[in-house]
Amino acid sequence: MDFDNPLQKQLPWRWQEGDLTVTRSNAWSGPGCHEGCGVLIYTDKEGKMVKVEGDPENPFNQGRLCVRCLALPEVTYHPDRLLYPQKRVGERGEDKWERVSWEEAYDTIVTKFNAYKAEFGPQSVVFNQGTGRDVTWANGRLCYGFGSPNSSDFQSGMACYLPRLSSLYATTGSFLVADCSQHFPDRYDEPSWTRPECIVIWGCNPIISNADGFLGHWIVDCMKLGSKLIVIDPRLTWLAAKADIWLQIRPGTDAAMALAWLDVIINEKLYDEDFVEMWTLGFDELAGRVAEYPVEKMAEITWVPQEKIEAAARLYATSKPAAIQWGLAIDMTKESLPAGQAITALWSITGNVDIPGGMVTVALPYGADIWGGDWGYSHLSPEAKAVRIGLDKYPLLQWGLPLAQADEIVEAMLTDDPYPIKAIWLVGSNALACMGADPEKLMKALNRMEFVVNIDLFKTPTAVACADLLLPVLTYPEKNGLRAVWYHIGNINKAIEPVGEGKSDAQLAIELGHIFNPDLVPWETVEEYFDAVLEGTEMTFEEMRDAGAVLYTDFEYKKYEKGYERGDGELGFNTPSGRIELYSTAYERSGLDPLPYFEEPTESPFSTPEMYEEYPIVLTSGARHWASFHSEHRQIHRLRAMRPDPIVEIHPETAAKYGVGEGDWIWIENHRGRVQRKVQLTTILDPRVINADHGWWYPEKEPAAPSLYGMWDVNFNKLIPWDPGRSGFGANYKSLLCKIYKVNQGEEAQSWLP
């Protein structure tokens, strides 16, 4: 490695500051996070972690760190951490457990999984996980190593990120993100980079969520450099308050908004004719479709005035370059794929593709890819691949990541159709309290399983309700790991001894994978696997750590003009036509509409006006807050103090109309059920819309059923059905109807206050 090259930084990885030892590392998970921020972990003479700080030398976060990493010592040393493997001894839900050795745990898993494999086929074991943490790649390897094609999550419509990813792969053949200079170690000083003239923040709040490997503060950096902002959000977020234009959209209508922008841009000829001509397929068909969605009509649908939509579309299309940072709200409508497709069309027809300050296709330095490409899926037998759940109903699943479809998995668990599912490996997911729709249905499905293994840092309502074996895992300072995802490579360096007998998720997957399939998982230790991933760097994991290396790669723009996008070296994009497919041949072949469209949420003022009379409030959910990552961190006092209760945000006019005030506990009810929230009055919302927290449970309440940590009264997802979009992707987690009324005195879901 040439450390004189500025792309390959060499820094000390461990040093002494007075009585404290400092270990340089990269944060990933656990606890949950999508990022890989550079951190400095401080330990005392006894080897105890005393604090964590942002690493100023790491180009990714440049010293910044969020409150959840600052609170990390409290997470790692929390008395409720799972410390050793445990097996269930009472009934499910009784919360009775007995400590077992790792040997016994592994024996049980191997014996049972192999027995199901022999009798029902490897597909009868499903490997399930929560959002992308430092478990995803390991889970995939273990699943395909075992021989099952069924790796999935428990989210209806897999409505997080995967709709956007699938839509991008299908129409562009690659993955693009807003270019905030993140591919360069010198960041904003990099001469080949240009700041976006305009950034559109669409259905996300990156300042808080820092989702999908994108750090929200990069937006603030660009704003300081002069980037203009357009924010599309039903709530006046911090960024929206600073934007040039804020479009206060009705939840669930993002496809209509994108089609309206396309209407303005195409009618006013604000698109990039050369790029459209050279690099896209189906512009005329797109224009024909867009004409069905005139901006004046879309203004009524989205509840945003026509002039505002037009002004935003013009500002976006005339700003060169322009970037769009999109988020979860795009995924969380049932017809999310066409919404993603319409937004992709926006940056494509304006020529903002793989240019400085536009949307860039991501690069993996030195080919180092922790995911191992398809996680080993390609090694499965044709017979195994053919029975991946959901593939027959949703042929689009052939494109992009090789996942099984979540709603269909739950159906199969309940019905044995198309075949019996016997066991679930459930890693990094509190599915009943957070990820799953209709948690009662999910609980039934899980409790039909003969064997559920749950792998977590803490015991959750899901574990108590459904698990047979609990395996403890590690927080990031307790383990070695590798952050080799996009942009740069960095080590996750072990800084402290594990507090219990936990193993890292990677260790579990490699050790068990090796037992199940030494051909696909030839490595015996995690470090050996990392060495293999790092082959292209010509360093081993240890050498890289000792060199204190942070590795970037030469980043090139306009890769499609250089033959770098496609495997075959031809120019263009990795699609059948070699172009960005505005008219998608992949969708067409999958029996889907090849062009973008808007469909109302299943329940809305327009799709179900009668229901809107009974449930007269539009309900969105889950806008992130600082204090927790999903259902995590509720037991961490200094974080819980920031958000002690599950909140619903309501406009004061609406609150007055229903006779509720600040701090009142209310029921939010629809025809599926009701759930409690505490009222926070705010004018950031349209009076017709309210927003509720997701992922609540009370670690301080009774674990045993029926309480399950007091989960049922506050479990928002009782209001959400399992109901995916036509493609198998997308579900209405953020666009429902409801009514609200006060909780009777004494029946509040109130818990302790820190």
By CB under 6 A, is residue 624 in contact with ligand MGD?
A: yes
Residue whose token pair is 């309440």: 701
Nearest to 412 by CA among 117, 115, 109, 126: 126
By CB under 6 A, is residue 258 in contact with ligand MGD?
A: no
Closest approach, Cβ 52 to ligand MGD, in A, equals 16
Choose which of 140, 252, 548, 710 interacts with ligand MGD (CB under 6 A): 252
Q: List b or e across 349-367, with b for residues whose CB sees 16 or more CB atoms inside 10 angstroms.
A: bbbbbbbbbbbbbebbbbe
Give the Cα separation of 413 and 417 in Å (integer): 8
By CB under 5 A, is residue 330 in contact with Mo ion?
A: no
Q: Which is nearer to Mo ion, 462 or 507 (CB)?
A: 462
Nearest to 706 by CA among 443, 449, 453: 443
Question: Of these partners, ligand MGD, Mo ion, none, which one is at the site of residue 54 (CB under 5 to 8 Å by kind)?
Answer: none
Centre a 10 Å sphere on the Cβ of residue 672 and count the other Cβ atoms it contains: 17
- Taking CB under 6 A as the binding criterion, the range among 47-55, 400-408, 421-429, 634-642 that sits at the site for ligand MGD is 421-429
By CB under 6 A, is residue 32 in contact with ligand MGD?
A: yes
Closest approach, Cβ 441 to ligand MGD, in A, equals 15
By CB under 6 A, is residue 227 in contact with ligand MGD?
A: no
Cα 104 to the chain's mean position, in Å? 34
By CB under 6 A, is residue 434 in contact with ligand MGD?
A: yes
Give the Cα separation of 497 and 477 in Å (integer): 8
Question: What residue type is assigned to position 183 of the chain?
Answer: H
Q: Which is nearer to Mo ion, 169 or 279 (CB)?
A: 169
By CB under 6 A, is residue 328 in contact with ligand MGD?
A: yes
The angle formed by the CA atoms of residues 719, 704 and 86, to the nearest 5 degrees, is 115
Closest approach, Cβ 130 to Mo ion, in A, equals 8
Closest approach, Cβ 209 to ligand MGD, in A, equals 3
By CB under 6 A, is residue 41 in contact with ligand MGD?
A: no
CA distance between the termini of the chain: 51
By CB under 6 A, is residue 439 in contact with ligand MGD?
A: no
- Taking CB under 5 A as the binding criterion, the range among 153-161, 600-608, 718-726, 737-745 that sits at the site for Mo ion is 153-161
Question: Hey, which residues between 83 and 122 contact ligand MGD (CB under 6 A)?
Answer: none
Question: Of these partners, Mo ion, ligand MGD, none, which one is at the site of residue 655 (CB under 5 to 8 Å by kind)?
Answer: none
By CB under 6 A, is residue 640 in contact with ligand MGD?
A: no
Residue whose token pair is 């921020």: 37
Choose which of 260, 457, 469, 533 interacts with ligand MGD (CB under 6 A): 457
By CB under 6 A, is residue 732 in contact with ligand MGD?
A: no
What are the Cα distances from residue 331, in Å, to 291, 662, 730? Answer: 24, 31, 5
Nearest to 713 by CA among 746, 741, 673, 744: 673
Nearest to 425 by CA among 149, 113, 104: 113
- Taking CB under 6 A as the binding criterion, the range among 29-37, 50-58, 119-127, 565-573 that sits at the site for ligand MGD is 29-37
By CB under 5 A, is residue 160 in contact with Mo ion?
A: yes
Number of residues lying near ligand MGD (CB under 6 A):
67
Choose which of 85, 735, 737, 743 interacts with ligand MGD (CB under 6 A): 735
What are the Cα distances from residue 468, in Å, to 82, 464, 465, 501? Answer: 15, 9, 9, 18
Q: Which is nearer to Mo ion, 124 or 210 (CB)?
A: 210
Main-chain phi, psi angles of 386, to 5 degrees = -65, -25
Question: Hey, which residues between 385 and 414 contact ligand MGD (CB under 6 A)?
Answer: none
Which x/- pattern, by CB under 6 A, does the window 280-319 give for ligand MGD? ----------------------------------------
By CB under 6 A, is residue 629 in contact with ligand MGD?
A: yes
Q: Which is nearer to ligand MGD, 181 or 507 (CB)?
A: 507
Question: Hey, which residues between 671 and 700 contact ligand MGD (CB under 6 A)?
Answer: 694-695
Q: Which is nearer to Mo ion, 132 or 338 (CB)?
A: 132
Q: Which is nearer to ligand MGD, 10 or 306 (CB)?
A: 306
Choose which of 130, 357, 513, 578 interacts with ligand MGD (CB under 6 A): 130
Which residues 6+ apart lie within 8 Å of 514 measured at CB?
A: 521, 522, 523, 524
- Taking CB under 6 A as the binding criterion, the range among 142-150, 165-173, 248-256, 746-754 that sits at the site for ligand MGD is 248-256
Give the Cα separation of 650 and 688 in Å (integer): 9
What is the rounded radius of gyration, in angstroms, for the C-alpha atoms of the chain? 25
Q: Which is nearer to ligand MGD, 211 or 298 (CB)?
A: 211
The angle formed by the CA atoms of residues 121, 410 and 427, to the nearest 5 degrees, is 75
Burial of 53 (0-12, 13-18, 19+ CB in 10 A): middle
SS3 534: coil
Instruction: Note whether 227 and 198 are within 8 A (CB).
Output: yes
Instruction: Note whether 737 and 611 are within 8 A (CB).
Output: yes
Q: Which is nearer to ligand MGD, 174 or 628 (CB)?
A: 628
What are the Cα distances from residue 123, in Å, to 257, 375, 405, 654? Answer: 41, 17, 13, 50
Question: Of these partners, ligand MGD, Mo ion, none, which one is at the site of residue 502 (CB under 5 to 8 Å by kind)?
Answer: none
Question: Hey, which residues between 129 and 148 contact Mo ion (CB under 5 A)?
Answer: 131
Nearest to 444 by CA among 420, 415, 405: 415
Closest approach, Cβ 211 to ligand MGD, in A, equals 3
Closest approach, Cβ 282 to ligand MGD, in A, equals 26
Region of 236 on the Ramachandran plot (φ > 0 left; ψ -120 to 50 alpha; else beta): beta
Nearest to 597 by CA among 94, 254, 109: 254
Give the Cα separation of 634 and 697 in Å (integer): 8
By CB under 6 A, is residue 357 in contact with ligand MGD?
A: no
By CB under 6 A, is residue 348 in contact with ligand MGD?
A: no
Question: Of these partners, Mo ion, ligand MGD, none, which one is at the site of residue 120 (CB under 5 to 8 Å by kind)?
Answer: none
- Taking CB under 6 A as the binding criterion, the range among 259-267, 586-594, 672-680, 728-736 that sits at the site for ligand MGD is 728-736
Q: Which is nearer to ligand MGD, 272 or 693 (CB)?
A: 693
Question: Hey, which residues between 188 and 217 contact ligand MGD (CB under 6 A)?
Answer: 202-206, 208-211
Give the Cα separation of 480 and 241 in Å (integer): 41
Closest approach, Cβ 434 to Mo ion, in A, equals 10
24's enclosing H/E stretch is strand 20-26
SS3 322: strand
Closest approach, Cβ 663 to ligand MGD, in A, equals 22
Which x/- pattern, by CB under 5 A, does the window 102-131 give for Mo ion? -----------------------------x
Q: Which is nearer to ligand MGD, 22 or 160 (CB)?
A: 160
Question: Hey, which residues between 495 and 524 contact ligand MGD (CB under 6 A)?
Answer: 505
What are the Cα distances from residue 36, in Å, to 213, 428, 752? Answer: 7, 17, 33
What sign for the dihedral angle of Cα 18, 19, 24, 26?
negative
By CB under 6 A, is residue 460 in contact with ligand MGD?
A: yes
Number of residues lying near Mo ion (CB under 5 A):
2
Ordered alpha helix ranges (H), 448-584: 461-466, 505-516, 526-533, 541-546
By CB under 6 A, is residue 251 in contact with ligand MGD?
A: yes
> Which chain residues interact with ligand MGD by CB under 6 A?
29-32, 34, 130-131, 133-135, 155, 160-161, 202-206, 208-211, 232-235, 237, 249, 251-252, 254, 327-329, 427-431, 433-435, 455-458, 460, 473, 505, 620-624, 626, 628-632, 694-695, 716-717, 733-735
> Which chain residues interact with Mo ion by CB under 5 A?
131, 160
